[in-house]
Structure 1
Amino acid sequence: MWEDVFARVDGGADETRHDTSYYWDNSKRSESNRINLQRTLSGEGFFENETGRYSLPVGTLIAFTQRENSRYGYPATASRPYRLRYLSIDPSATATPLFNRIRRDFGSVLSMPEGTESCTLFDDLFHRFHARNFLDRYHESELVTRLLTAIYRQQVSDTQHSDPVEYGYHLLRNRFTSPITLKEVAATCGISREHFIRSFSQRYQQAPGAVLRQLRLQHARGLLETTHLTLERIARASGFSSSNVFCRAFRQAFGTTPSKHREAANLSAKR
């Protein structure tokens, strides 16, 4: 069956709500199960799910789907109109994994401050949808992907000051292919190397150095199995300082050399 992998916006509007009659229980909705992004323009709404109840002031965004166990609306304690802007996006092989990753890592209530990249992309996508001035389906899908990526980046950026250890976790995952050190990561997070290692290890049950090495080795193993790059180029592309350092780490982790692993992978592929 043919699958459309390109994301598409299929709805969006500005709304102003004044009372508690604005209330949606997603678990009881029967619409198609789309990706929904809704940001507060003024006033305040609320969102609740199994993790708790959250207020939605200006600068926040909620990400949800129909048919899930969540609710949102106008809070009984509010005294001002709740102005919102929403976008609905068709689930696709392009958008859905990014959307799911955002919610897995940061939840459904997200940061989208005015003037940020994610806010600008959200409004651009909204206005283009209403004007129907996308260049083509590929352009529309590209903008959806850029928006979701910018939303993720914004959440990571917010953790730099609110949770420097989590920020360091994201730095490791995002920059492991560069020759970063734990000292540099800790400095970027604004904490000492010792504090970062201790707190990271307690939270994630693994030392940050081990995580960094694991990420690099997994990336290098993929390159060994799918490319003809030299060991030196693979080492550099995976964040290792040299092929010698890479080979020692690889053998220690997998019990074989990178060259032998590549030979075995090639033989397996030919069978």
Structure 2
Amino acid sequence: MSAADPFSSVHGAGEEVRTGPDYLLENARREDAAALVVQRTLAGAGFFERSGRRQLVGVGQAMLFTHREPSRYGFPPEATAPYRLRFVTFSPAGVRPLFNRLRHDFGSVVAMPDDSEATALFDELLHRFEHRSFHDRFHETDLLHRLLIALYREQVLGTRTSDPIEFGYHYLRDHFRAPINLKSVAAHCGVSREHFIRAFRARYREAPGALLRRLRLEHARTMLAATAFDIQDVARASGFTSSNTFCRAYRRHFSRPPAAER
């Protein structure tokens, strides 16, 4: 049996203008192959609905969905202007985990303004699909992956002013391997250290310091199992300032010393 193809490909892309509520699609009823979709609003607004929650998708936003999921989208009945949109539909191979994580962390409606890197990549994918100008399937997969990475990064940056606590959560996950501390993280979020710790614990049911330590220790455990680096190098690569601090924290967390992983 051959291994599953790990490379994604664009199934469809284009631009449309819809003018009435007859434009309504039920994803659960679609008969075409399972696919991932990014659909961006250029003018007017569309709507996306899932689990009883209905959201308008206006200019500078995009909806993310999959075929054969229990969701629907279309032209809002209350709209008075035409809905102009662009879409890219692609296979899930190689990119589904990132697509799912993007939706899990930020929802099915995300910001995608005109001047963003994600929009530039989105438009390039549409253009290359229409002109059949992908270099090869590796190039096609790379562009799709870069689009989702750019979308994720831009949503994180958008939370810096709209929701500094969520921004801090993502900042910790992105920078735990660096020698950061909670004072510097709070400063990046634009709030005091005390407020950040209190609000973070209330929202995520875990202190930010505990999350930071857990991320570092789990990363170190993977390094110990997968590499031949010595303990000091593993500690440094996992964000610890010294091997002694690392060894004590590791033993407390896993009830065994780092050397036991080997």
- Using structure 2 for the length normalisation, give the TM-score: 0.97
Determine helix, strand or coil for the equivalent of 1:252: helix
Query: 1:140, CA displacement in angstroms?
Result: 0.7
Indicate yes or no: 2:121 matched with 1:102: no
Give the Cα–Cα distance (whole angstroms) in 2 for the partners of residues 133 and 68 of structure 1: 31
Q: Letter of the aligned partner of 1:66 in structure 2?
A: H
Is 1:170–2:170 an aligned residue pair?
A: yes
Q: Who is 1:46 aligned against?
A: 47
What residue in structure 2 maps to residue 201 of structure 1?
A: 201
Provide the residue aligned with 1:89 in structure 2: 90
2:78 is the alignment partner of 1:77? yes
1:184 is matched with 184
Residue deviations 1:148-194, cap 9 Å, x none? 11111111111111111111000111110111111111111111000
State the partner residue of 1:152. Answer: 152
Shift of 1:51: 5.3
Alignment size in residue pairs: 261
Partner of 1:267: none
Q: Return closer, same or farther for 1:46/1:238 CA change in 2, 3 Å cut-off.
A: same
Provide the C-alpha distance between the structure 2 equivalents of 1:50 and 1:154, rounded to a whole number of angstroms: 26
CA distance in structure 2 between the aligned counterparts of 1:75 and 1:38, rounded to whole angstroms: 15
- Report the aligned-residue RMSD: 1.0
| 2:113 alignment partner, SS class | coil
Classify the secondary structure of the residue corresponding to 1:248: helix
CA distance in 1: counterparts of 2:114 and 2:257, whole angstroms:
51
* Other structure's SS at 1:10 match: strand
**CA displacement, residues 184-234 of structure 1 (integer Å, 9 cap, x when unaligned):** 111111110000000101111110000000000000011111111011111
Matched letter for residue 56 of structure 1 = V
Q: How does 1:1-271 map to 2 (within 5 A)?
A: 1-2=1-2, 3-50=4-51, 52-92=53-93, 94-262=94-262
Q: Which runs of 4+ in 1 moved over 6 A?
A: none
Aligned mates of 1:176, 1:251 — CA distance in 2: 19
Distance 2:196 2:53 in 1: 29
Look up the SS of the partner of 1:217 in the other structure.
Answer: helix
Structure 1 SS opposite 2:13: strand
Partners of 1:106 and 1:222 lie apart in 2 by 28
For 2:117, the aligned partner's letter is E
One-letter identity of the residue aligned with 1:155: Q
Deviations 1:32-62 (A, max 9, x none): 1100110001111111111511111111100
Distance in 2 (CA, whole Å) between partners of 1:78 and 1:260 is 64
Q: What's the secondary structure of 1:7's corresponding residue? A: coil
Question: What SS is found at the alignment partner of 1:126?
Answer: helix
Amino acid at match of 1:95: V
TM-score normalised per structure 1: 0.94
1:59 is aligned with what amino acid? G
What are the ranges of 5 or more consecutive residues in structure 2 without an aligned counterpart? none
Alpha-carbon distance in 2 for matches of 1:255, 1:45: 53
Q: In the TM superposition, what whole-angstrom CA distance separates every residue of 1:49-99 from its partner, at most 9, and x where no partner exists?
A: 11511111111100111121111111121111110000000120x111111
Aligned counterparts of 2:254 and 2:74: Cα–Cα separation in 1: 52
**Partner Cα distance (1:214, 1:58) in 2:** 40
CA distance in 2, matches of 1:65, 1:261: 40
Distance verdict in 2 for CA 1:90–1:162, change over 3 Å: same
Q: State the secondary structure of the residue aligned to 1:91.
A: coil
- Give me the whole-angstrom Cα distance separating, in 1, the residues matched to 2:184 and 2:218: 22
SS at match of 1:71: strand
Q: Give the Cα separation in 2 of the matches to 1:55 and 1:97.
A: 25
Q: What's the secondary structure of 2:48's corresponding residue? A: strand
